[in-house]
Amino acid sequence: MPGTDEPPTGPVDLAVIAVPPAHTATVLATAMRDGVARGYLDVASVKGGPRRELEALGLDLTPYIGTHPMAGKERSGPLAATADLFEGRPWVLTPTRETDTEVLNLALELVALCRAVPVVMDADAHDRAVALVSHTPQLISSMVAARLEEADESAVRLCGQGIRDVTRIAASDPRMWVEILSANPGPVADVLAGVAADLEETVTALRGLDSVDEKRRRAGTAPSRTSCAGATRAGSGCRASTAPPRPRTRRWPSSSGTSRASWPRSSPTRAGPGSTSRTSASSTPPGSRRAWSRSWSSRARPPYSRRP
């Protein structure tokens, strides 16, 4: 059935209130007083605050249920809409003991039509959860993006997929997020306090490592930062190996497998015809090229190769 922007002629089954958290309670109260529907739900990203506002107004909350589809994007508006926006995504429902069963079933039917996954939670537990998994990551992403605005162009050119993933949601509408954070300040502040404590410990540890490294560099005992090639591993650092390099042994083909480098090297004295060499036959290794050639030349030639 196609949608329409015409006002309904009578009460509808379910009214969906999709406004920022700061205006959720006001719009809900107006719709409930006007009797526009048999059931009401909102999709604001904060659940505890709007419900307490409705209770303060003295309204009957049996036809109301708070919900929050966890399927937002950094872009908003009709042009950013997609048919599979909610498919497979959690859709939180926060019913209470006063919530009418028929209204809960209508909300579950809407979740099923959008192909989302229903998750039932307490309103305050929901607000603490989204502070950890949604609101604080949004703040940190915006903070990292703000650091990049002050960076040199040469550093920004090195940005890869990692920094794009971290700062993607920083493109969200900042006015919307100011309203969201204003509606959930306590849980977000608690998570940020924990992150700040972790950052403080990390900064202290890094400062300590930098101080120790600086002292080692001044004393000339710091390991090289460029490479540990040719060094041996000792504990957590690298130390240069003091062992002399092993000579590369050239092996010649021989039946005995004896290396040429293991025999004493001696150079024969060149002389004219008929002279003898200073190197004795015993000093020639059996596996050397010279001994090999001698053994080959001393072999008898086959009869058919002899000249007449």
Sorting pLDDT into bands at 50, 70 and 90, what band is 39?
very high
Give me the pLDDT at residue 269, please: 47
pLDDT single digits (tens) 215-254:
777 777 655 544 454 444 444 445 444 555 565 555 555 5
Three-point CA angle 58, 61, 66, nearest 5°: 125
Sheet holding 117-120, edge to edge: 12-17, 37-42, 64-69, 90-94, 117-120
Q: Residue 38 to residues 14, 67, 191, 196, 234: CA-CA distances in angstroms? A: 6, 16, 38, 46, 74
What's the pLDDT band for 213 if we cut at 50, 70, 90? Answer: confident
Give one DSSP letter per residue of 269-297, joined into a string: PP--TT---SS-GGGS-TTSHHHHHHHHH
User: For residue 139, what is the enclosing H or E element?
Assistant: helix 136-149
Going by C-alpha positions, the residue among 192, 51, 70 that lies closest to residue 122 is 51
Average per-residue pLDDT for the chain: 79
Of residues 277 and 45, more confidence is placed in 45
pLDDT of residue 1: 53
CA 75 to chain CA centroid, Å, is: 22
Instruction: Output the six-digit token pair for 279.
Output: 């190197």
Task: Give pLDDT, residue 4.
Answer: 79
β-sheet bridge partners, residue 120: 93
| Rounded Cα–Cα distance for residues 109 and 222 (Å) | 66
Q: What is the pLDDT of residues 248-284, one digit of tens each?
A: 555 555 544 444 444 445 444 444 554 444 444 444 5
> Minimal CA–CA distance to 32: which of 7, 63, 8?
63
Of the ranges 44-48, 232-236, 289-293, which is most confident?
44-48
pLDDT tens for 64-76 read 999 999 987 777 7
Kindly state the average pLDDT of the residues 178-196: 93
Cβ neighbours, 10 Å, residue 154 = 7
Tell me if 101 sits within 8 A of 73, measured CB to CB: no
Q: What is the pLDDT of residue 280?
A: 45
Question: What is the model's pLDDT at position 151?
Answer: 87
pTM over 0.85: no
> How does residue 144 score in pLDDT terms, banded at 50, 70 and 90?
very high
How high is the pLDDT of residue 238?
52
Weakest-pLDDT range from 11-20, 27-36, 52-61, 233-242: 233-242
β 12-17/37-42 pair status: parallel
pLDDT digits (tens, 9 = 90+) for 77-127: 778 788 899 999 999 999 999 999 999 999 999 999 999 999 999 999 999
Query: Whole-angstrom Cα distance, residue 27 to residue 14?
Result: 15
SS3 state of residue 16: strand
